[in-house]
């Protein structure tokens, strides 16, 4: 069972990548288009196994940073996404 403080890794990825691809301010004449994004972040992981034997990965940003003789183990993930554009000929 996953620790309730953690969110499923896939929901974190969905939230990170939920960025509109276009930013337009017609009045100011500004247009920005995002075709690719790369995000790197430290995370804490909770790895558990479901009853059916599948692995479940939970994650949160590091909960605390305290100088002690034993520090929590932080992991780092990098997510890179690129906008897919279908070919004009339909292939």
Q: Which residues contact 33 (CB under 8 A, 6 or more apart)?
A: 21, 22, 23
Token output for 72: 């929590």
Q: Which DSSP category does 26 fall into?
A: T
Q: How far apart are the C-alpha atoms of 37 and 17, rounded to whole Å?
A: 8
Segment 5-28 shows an average pLDDT of: 81
pTM: 0.54
pLDDT of residue 7: 81
pLDDT of residue 50: 85
Query: What are the tens digits of pLDDT across the range 27-78?
Result: 998 888 888 888 888 888 888 888 899 998 888 877 666 565 655 567 788 8
Q: Which residues contact 30 (CB under 8 A, 6 or more apart)?
A: 23, 24
């Amino acid at each position: 069972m996953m620790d309730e403080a953690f969110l499923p890794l896939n929901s974190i990825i969905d939230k990170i990548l939920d960025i509109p691809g276009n930013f337009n301010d017609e009045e100011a004449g500004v247009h920005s288009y995002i075709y690719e994004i790369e995000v790197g972040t430290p995370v804490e992981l909770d790895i558990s196994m479901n009853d059916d034997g599948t692995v479940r990965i939970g994650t949160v940003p590091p909960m605390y940073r305290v100088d002690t003789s034993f520090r929590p183990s932080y992991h780092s993930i990098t997510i890179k996404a690129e906008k897919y554009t279908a070919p004009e000929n339909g292939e």
